[in-house]
Structure 1
């Protein structure tokens, strides 16, 4: 499964995680991607969408 939202293009972000003693370790932040059936250009299609786009109503769900 792709780790990118097809609506807003949100994807994986990498960075540094700091512990309490300020030791560093590299880590990644992955968006919450769901595979949903949505209406795209008038036809129902399965798309990978982040939950932020689902919640804000940027995607019209197909039933």
Structure 2
């Protein structure tokens, strides 16, 4: 599974975790994805969608 939203294409972001002593190590921020049934071209389809797209109404859920 790729960590990418099917609607807005939000994906993993990379950066540094910085400790109290200021030592750096690599880390990643992963998008909050949910596997939902959405309507695509009039047909229901399962896709991974981020919760921001679900909350803002960019996706029509298939029931």
TM-score, length of structure 2 as denominator length: 0.94
* Aligned-residue CA RMSD (Å): 0.7
- How far the C-alpha of 1:17 sits from its partner, in A, is 1.0
Structure 2 match to 1:28: 28
Structure 2 match to 1:19: 19
Segments of structure 2 that go 5 or more residues without pairing to the other structure are none
| Count of residues paired in the alignment | 63
Moved over 2 A (4+): none
- How far the C-alpha of 1:12 sits from its partner, in A, is 0.5
Do structure 1's residue 7 and structure 2's residue 7 form an aligned pair? Answer: yes
TM-score, length of structure 1 as denominator length: 0.94
